Amino acid sequence: MLDLQYIRENAEVVKSAIINKATGTPDLVDHVLELDELWRKITTELQNVQTAANAEAKKIGELMKSGQKEQAQSAIAESSRLKAALKDLEEGQRTAALSLDAALLEIPNVPHPSVPIGKVPSDNVVAFEHGVFPAFSFQPVPHWDILEKHDLVDFDRGSKVAGAGFPFYKGPGARFQRALINFFLDQAIGSGYLEIQAPLVVNEDSARGTGQLPDKEDLMYEAVRDGLYLIPTAEVPVTNLHRDEILSESDLPIKYCAYTPCFRREAGSYGKDVRGLNRLHQFDKIELVHFVRPEDSYEALEELRAHAEDLLQKLGLPYRRLLMCTGDMGFTQAKKYDLEVWSAGQERWLEVSSISNFETFQARRMKIRYRSKSEARPQIVHTINGSGLALPRIVAALLENNQQEDGSITIPPALRSYFGSETLISS
């Protein structure tokens, strides 16, 4: 959520953000300002009537004390009228405030000046590439053929039990998942992150706090009876950990890592993008979250990005870093990077991490603040998060890039102690 005062002073900037992000119409800003003006008008009138009501109440006491009963009765009647007016104004103020808050939730974050303006994925900027594409003396196959040939994942039984996009990982396939999870967590902990285990469901306030509501309802699974949502990412519970809290500046930066399954409906996904492990409804991911001072947030963004890239380098995966354009970066982000790995069997890039700076956008919704001194006014923290990393496409790329002609899959050296072998399967 943007600061209302910022919108008042930078209406045209916010309108440009809406246009460039393609997340509504500029009229939203005018609507917010109209509601703001209405709320301020009602509030001013409420204060004036309250002052008059207080004066009338004092007057009644003075008239009664002096024996002027007739004038006191007239003052009592006026006091009753003012109390009725106050009740109406208070209701009007409450209604205006609710409408204003709802309208503010529809306004997207303003992109950082370094973000390229664009509308489609081709407008994203390739900021960095690392690694060399693997060379083969044979035709590499896509990961879904490898999974089927060696019975590492059972999609059919997963579909029977839960539905499409909910696979069973079996034997070495399940062990490979566990090895990656432990490797990613240990790397994060070694880099100064505190590991936490988070709830897999959140309430409406939490989903609203990180921006899933009212923007991404269609992507989340909902437990309607209990008013809960299955988490689409650990970002939601972990960032809400400090909702409605005032932190001490000495506690910052706070860095958390969390492994969770993630649940996404992925409505509208189709074609090659959903084949095999490319796009699932349930998948595993390690999330990295930072809470920092505003002046430190862009340094923290680069720190988190470097951590995620280091994981890819240690796994030996060729990858590229994209600086996302305004139209492809999302509603809540001020700046966003995507990391994509090369998939040799599919001959395409696969996104494995999104790394974003939200500035105060999420923290303002969640009222996460910090105080530098006990007497100082609390300030809003900045939040940064990213995947470190999401497993399905990492698994896909590792299988495809490390496949051997005899059918075996070479395990990257950094992962061998976790997996317990140099190969995933052997002929």
Show which residues are catalytic: 264, 279, 351, 354, 393
Is the separation of the CB atoms in 175 and 197 below 8 Å? Answer: no
Give the chain as a 3 state SS string.
CCCHHHHHHCHHHHHHHHHHHCCCCCHHHHHHHHHHHHHHHHHHHHHHHHHHHHHHHHHHHHHHHHCCHHHHHHHHHHHHHHHHHHHHHHHHHHHHHHHHHHHHCCCCCCCCCCCCCCCCHHHCEEEEEECCCCCCCCCCCCHHHHHHHCCCEEHHHHHHHCCCCCCEECCHHHHHHHHHHHHHHHHHHHCCCEECCCCCEEEHHHHHHCCCCCCCHHHCCEEHHHCEEECCCCHHHHHHHHCCCEEEHHHCCEEEEEEEEEECCCCCCCHHHHCCCCCCCEEEEEEEEEEECHHHHHHHHHHHHHHHHHHHHHCCCCEEEEECCHHHCCCCCCEEEEEEEEECCCCEEEEEEEEEEEECHHHHHHCCEEECCCCCCCEECEEEEEEEEEHHHHHHHHHHHCECCCCCEECCHHHHHHHCCCECCCC
Q: Are 169 and 152 in contact (CB under 8 A)?
A: yes
The Cα-based distances of 326 to 104, 120, 214, 269, 399 in angstroms read 20, 9, 19, 22, 33
